[in-house]
Structures are given as structure tokens and as C-alpha cells.
Amino acid sequence: MKAKSDCKVHYTDSIYYELEQTSRLMKKITAQLFTKLEIDLTMDEYAALDTVSINAGICQRDLAKFILKDRANTGRILDSLEQKGFITRFIDTKNNRLVKKMGITENGLKELDMIDAKIERYLKSLTRTIDPKDVDRVQDTLKSFRIELEKVVEINI
């Protein structure tokens, strides 16, 4: 009998496949949850709003890097959030250049708090059968893995 390390490992038996499939399922679950709870934001808008809330004065380019969207898509997301009154954009300087930055509004904070309250119970239920220490360990491991990936992946934003 061959040891597992001696056998050919198929992509579908790899950590990369598991991560990709898990990510796809999470996107579907989140989209369904947002629809079910009548949340008037897309997941991308929610991620952007949350990121702006903890990075006051962030510029569009840096936000795009955080949410892994190109600048054009990030601009559309920001236009929508601004039209809804959840963010405000302003001109500032960065390295002696004029840069558009943004901040979250009071309405944006209220919306974020409302969404967080609505989805918290549902998202926690996804991990209810897993020991909280294991959840923390997986999160820490995934973060370390993502940081390593960011070192090698070319992202043109």
C-alpha cells in the first residue's frame, strides 16, 4: 500500500481546491443571506463599507487592494455607497499629489451596525458545530496563507 505522499495528488484533493470551493460557497451563502434579510447592499458594497469604516481617509487605490477589485469596479461600488449616503469622498494630498479619499458617514455607520446585527447570528450558526478554538486556528492559518499569497500574486490595481 502506497503512502499518501507517494501518490499523485489531484487538484481536487488539494488545499487550493478546498479553499476555492469554500470561497464560492461562502459567496453564494452570503448573497442568499443578504437577499433573505432584505439587505440593500451587495457583498462587495458591504466589504467596502466595512473597510472604509476601519480605515478612515483611505484612498480608492488602497481600498481596491483591500477588497481585491480593480479601480473601475471599486469606483462603481463607491459611487453606489456615496449615492446611498453611506460614505463621503473628499480631496486630500498624499505624497504631494491630490488624492480622492473617503470616510464613512453617520448613516453608513448605522447601516453597517444594522447589517452586522442581522447577519451575525446566521454567520455564527455556520460554525456552531466547530470548536471556537478550531475556528480561530483556521482563521489565523488562512490569514497567514493569504499574506504569503499576497507576496507572490501580481495584482494590477
What are the counts of helices (DSSP H) followed by strands (DSSP E) for the chain? 6, 3
pLDDT per residue over 22-80, tens digit each? 999 999 999 999 999 999 999 999 999 999 999 999 999 999 999 999 989 999 999 99
Backbone angles phi, psi at 106, to 5 degrees: -60, -45
41-152: CATH topology is Arc Repressor Mutant, subunit A (1.10.10)
pLDDT per residue over 106-125, tens digit each? 999 999 999 999 999 888 88
Spell 78-93 as b/e; 16+ CB within 10 A means b.
bebbeebebbeeeeee
Instruction: Tell me the whole-structure pTM to 2 decimals.
Output: 0.83
Please tell me the predicted confidence (pLDDT) of residue 123.
86
Distance CA 72, CA 63 (A): 12
Nearest of 106, 102, 73 to residue 88 by alpha carbon? 102
Please tell me the predicted confidence (pLDDT) of residue 3.
57
Question: What are the domain boundaries of the chain?
Answer: 41-152
